[in-house]
Structure 1
Amino acid sequence: MKTKYIDLIEQTFDFPQKEFTLDDHKLQFHGIDLTKLIAQYGTPLKFTYLPKISENINSAKAWFADAIQKNNYDGKYHYCYCTKSSHFNHVLNEALKNDIHIETSSAFDIDIVENLKAQGKINDETYVISNGFKRDQYVKNIGRLINNGHKNCIAVIDNFEEISLLSQEINGNYNVGIRIASEEEPKFEFYTSRLGIGYKNIVPFYNREIKENPKVNLKMLHFFINTGIRDTAYYWNELSKCMKVYINLKKVCSSLDSLNIGGGFPIKNSLAFEYDYAYMIDEIIQQIKQACDEAGVAVPNIFTEFGSFTVGESGGAIYKVLYQKQQNDREKWNMINSSFITTMPDTWAINKRFIMLPINGWQKEYERVLLGGLTCDSDDYYNSEQHMNAIYLPKYTKDKPLYIGFFNTGAYQETIGGFGGLQHCLIPQPKHILIDRNEAGDIETQLFSAQQTSKDLLSILGYDYGINNSLIESETHITEELIVKQ
């Protein structure tokens, strides 16, 4: 009878896969020796595998190029990175190697744009698509960017007042887009997105606020739905409605030449994940062209704002199972040396599931377990996988450490979790490792951020080091000693 963990995986999935392989019964991720990584840096740790960012960007650009050629599509394609997915410098550095553009969401994003310009990593030809609800500082920063010569900044109008606010800050002419307030799926708690302007109001808004305004050029219509780009009747129906708005707007606005279809490409969340990216892109291009041809208007340039798709599959987290608690005759709790709430907040907030696999122990028998975090919060747990509605791991034994990895966690988890700040129950934030390849293709790693110490957290909390310095140093030593023992 096949009862080993490797048997379970091979019987359930097509394994090994492109990014997941075994070497000496130990898990490899894109050829990275994770056991060696653990030996060098310890756990808990988070990592970013930078080459995966470029790989996904270039895959999408190739799919769009193929679809444009296949459909004799006259418009151009522009790949934008949605910075809110991960604002880190190392992420932007890697993404910008690939001739892409940027989508921003708030005031400080513009400061990042200006920093990148000062470093020569982007220039005035780089599109900066400024999305989001705009007030005060965000409007001022957009105005400063445009006034300083960045004419390829397109402010996407989210509400009726933003035209007048932007016009007060911007000295000359400027380009705008209009975001469609898309209708949500029936299962949502509300009918229409809070973002953007309703379908029926867009053409009247253009005629009222933009058409006769000598400062404003409408260049883009922005379309995005929360459920992402998926092969569903709902998505195709919303895209069709979007095209009707685009065509009606194009007929009264000759400067309109671009359609932004937003983000929403899914990323791999299970070993059973299947998604035909090339088909979806081809179908989108085909439907846009067909609608425009039938209406006798020119096809638009296509913009996308992929965030999770760009950076999500580059990230991972590795934990050690510290202890197993048998709470009753059925439930075994494997306690990890960190917290799910603090390091992967989406698992707690929106019940999101990532790919979870053991790093070692693949030749052991498997058992069904629950995973528990270190905080005293009852919600700090992980109890199922999308592909099997349960967690199975190699059997835990005290004499042989068991390490587990969560993969494709690179989008949103650091910013939602409050990177560098307070963590629930003051559980320290794990160390973060950057992984890259040199010109010879060899793996290179570096420490991006060390694990938080007691001193880091007490400093945020405002404790007086002059009075309690010896206590802090003692607690820091004890914390680090416990980590080493783990």
Structure 2
Amino acid sequence: MNTKYIDLIGQSFDFPQPEFKLEDKTLQFHDVDLMQLIEQYGAPLKFSYLPQISNNIQRAKSWFAEAFAKHDYKATYNYCYCTKSSHFKHVLDEALKNDIHIETSSAFDIDIVQSLKKEGKITNDTYVLSNGFKREQYVTNIANLINGGHHNCIPIIDNYEELNLLSQEIEGQFNVGIRIASEEEPKFEFYTSRLGIGYKNIVPFYKAQIQENEKVNLKMLHFFINTGIRDNAYYWNELTKCLKVYTSLKKICPSLDSLNIGGGFPIKNSLAFDFDYQYMVEEIVLQIKQVCEEEGVDVPHIFTEFGSFTVGESGGAIYKVLYQKQQNDREKWNMINSSFITTLPDTWAISKRFIMLPINRWHDSYERVLLGGLTCDSDDYYNSEQHVNAIYLPKYREDKPLYIGFFNTGAYQETIGGFGGLQHCLIPSPKHILINKNEDGSITTEVFAEQQKSEDLLNILGYTTTQPKDKTTEAETTASVIL
């Protein structure tokens, strides 16, 4: 009988997969021996497999290059990284190896840009697209960047007042973009995005504030919808509306030459994940070209702002199953040695699913379980993954420790969870490991942050006035691993 966990996976999915395989009966992720990682660093832990950042950037660049060639698209493609997905230096350092550009969201983002410039990681030729609602400090930081010679910094206008605020602080001419306030799907609680300016108001806004303004050049139109890039009628309809605005503007604004289609590429959240990236890119490029040809205008340079797609598939979290609680005749709770609310907040806040697989014991029989975190909050649980509203894991045995991994968790979880700060019920943040791969294929690891200690949390809470003994960086109050 096929009663082992490995049989269940083999019957349900195509396995092994490019990033997942078994070696000596334990799970490997991009050829990283996860049990060896656990033996070396313990659990819980988080890790970042840095080469996957470059892999995904290069994948996207190749899709657009092929689409441009196929449709004879006479413009350029520019890949921007959306920094709010993960601001960590090791992420930016890896991403910037791939000749990319930056999208920012707040004032402190510009400070990161200035730091990267000092290190020579970016130059004045690097595009810095500044999105978000802009007020004093953000405006000042953008102005300082442009006044310092970084003319490829393009603030994206989000509301009617921003242009005046920027003009007061920026010396000489500067380029801007305008963000379209897209209309959301009917299931949303609101009809129009709070971000940007409405479709019908963009051309009047341009005529009123930019057309006769010798100081400002309109360079870019920005388009993004919350649901991301999907092959459905809603996405194609919104894209068409955006292109109509672009062509209308282009006819009266010669300086407009770029279209930013935002981010929104999905990342793998199941072993059954199936998304045709190449088809979507080719279709987007074709739609842009066709509308521009119909309206008799030149095709725009295309910009994207991929955040989750860039960094999401580089991250993972590993936990140990501490104990099993049989709460009734049907529900078994496997308790992990950490918290979902604190370490994977999207599982709690927006019911996000990640790939979840055991690290060891694949050749044992399996059972259906629920997963519970250590906090005393009833919402600290996880009950859904690729099997849909069910979790199957090797049977709990007190004498055989079970380790489980959550994969493709690299976007947003650390910042939303408050990296380096207080966590719910004072559950300490786990160790964080960075994982890299050498040219010869060998794997190297280093500790980015140790697991939080009691004194770290007590100091934040005001119970102690002394700094932790090991105060190398604030980052070291948490634990993470980068592969």
Say whether the fold is shared (TM-score over 0.5). Answer: yes
Q: CA separation in 1, counterparts of 2:368 and 2:24?
A: 24
**Contact 1:313-1:409 within 8 A present in 2 as well:** yes
Provide the residue aligned with 2:449 in structure 1: 449
Render the CA deviation track for 1:70-99: whole Å, top value 9, x for unaligned: 100001000000000000000000000000
Code of the aligned partner of 2:240: S
Report whether the alignment pairs 1:287 with 2:287.
yes
Amino acid at match of 2:95: A
Q: Which residue of 2 aligns with 1:65?
A: 65
**Structure 2: gaps (5+ residues):** 469-483
Superposed displacement of residue 462, structure 1: 1.1
Q: Which residue of 1 aligns with 2:363?
A: 363
Which residue number corresponds to residue 113 of structure 2? Answer: 113
Q: Which segments of structure 1 move beyond 6 Å, counting only runs of 4 or more? A: none
1:54 equivalent to 2:54? Answer yes
Correspondence for 2:227:
227
Deviation at 1:465, TM superposition (A): 4.5
How far apart in 2 are the matches of 1:387 and 1:424?
29
* Amino acid in structure 1 at the alignment position of 2:213: N
Aligned to 2:145: 145
Question: Equivalent residue of 2:21, what SS?
Answer: strand
Residue type of the alignment partner of 2:364: K
Alignment match, 2:82: 82
Output the CA distance in 1 between the equivalents of 2:333 and 2:96.
43
Q: In the alignment, which residue of structure 2 is the partner of 1:166?
A: 166
- Between the aligned partners of 1:465 and 1:202, the Cα distance in structure 2 is 53
| SS in structure 2 of the partner of residue 58 of structure 1 | helix
Take 2:464 and 2:310, find their aligned partners in 1: how far apart are those partners?
A: 42
- Equivalent positions of 1:297-376 (< 5 A) are 297-376=297-376
Contact conserved, 1:271 with 1:387, CA < 8 A, in 2?
no
**Counterpart Cα distance in 2 of 1:465 and 1:302:** 52
Matches within 5 A, 1:122-133: 122-133=122-133
Which sections of structure 1, spanning at least 5 residues, go unmatched? Answer: 470-486
Q: Secondary structure at the match of 1:180?
A: strand
- Paired residue type of 2:396: Y
Tell me, what secondary structure is at the counterpart of 1:156?
Answer: strand
Distance (whole Å) between structure 2 residues aligned to residue 361 and residue 439 of structure 1: 32
Rounded to whole Å, the distance in 1 between the matches of 2:369 and 2:265 is: 31
User: Which residue is 1:267 aligned to?
Assistant: 267
Asked if 2 retains the 8 angstrom alpha-carbon contact of 1:436 and 1:443, the reply is yes
Change beyond 3 A, Cα 1:139–1:180:
same
Normalising by structure 2, we get a TM-score of 0.96
Query: 2: distance between equivalents of 1:459 and 1:399?
Result: 38
Aligned to 2:392: 392
- Find the residue that maps to 2:278 and give its secondary structure: helix
Are 1:420 and 2:428 matched, yes or no? no
Q: State the alpha-carbon separation in 1 of the partners of residues 250 and 347 from structure 2.
A: 43
Shift of 1:464: 2.9
- Please give the TM-score of this superposition, normalised by the length of structure 1: 0.95
Structure 1 residues 125-167: Cα deviation after superposition (integer angstroms, max 9, x where no partner): 0000000000010000000000001000000000000000000
* Code of the aligned partner of 1:461: L
Tell me, in whole angstroms, the C-alpha distance in 2 between the residues paired with 1:108 and 1:284: 33
Within 1, Cα distance between the matches of 2:169 and 2:461? 38
Amino acid across the alignment from 1:251:
K
Paired residues in the alignment total 468
Deviation (angstroms), 1:389? 2.2
- Where does residue 213 of structure 2 map in the other structure? 213
* Structure 2 contact 271–386 (Cα < 8 Å) conserved: no
> Alpha-carbon deviation of 1:434?
0.1
Task: Describe the shift of the 1:27–1:242 C-alpha distance in structure 2 as closer, same or farther (beyond 3 A).
Answer: same
Residues 272 and 387 in structure 1, CA contact (< 8 A), matched pair in contact too: no
Q: Partner residue of 1:103?
A: 103
- In angstroms, what is the RMSD of aligned CA positions? 1.0
Per the alignment, in what secondary structure is the counterpart of residue 267 of structure 1?
Answer: coil
Q: Distance in 1 between matches of 2:214 and 2:79?
A: 29
User: 2:390, 2:438 → 1: CA distance?
Assistant: 39
SS of the equivalent of 1:448 reads: strand
CA distance in 1, matches of 2:401, 2:415: 30
Supply the AA of the counterpart residue of 1:185: E
Distance 1:9 1:437 in 2: 28
Structure 1 equivalent of residue 42 of structure 2: 42
Q: Per the alignment, in what secondary structure is the counterpart of residue 362 of structure 1? A: coil
Tell me the secondary structure at the aligned position of residue 428 of structure 1: coil
Cα drift, residue 322 of structure 1: 0.4
Instruction: Quote the offset at 1:384 in angstroms.
Output: 1.3
The match for 1:252 is: 252
Whether 2:394 is the aligned partner of 1:433: answer no
Give the deviation of 1:388 after TM superposition: 3.1
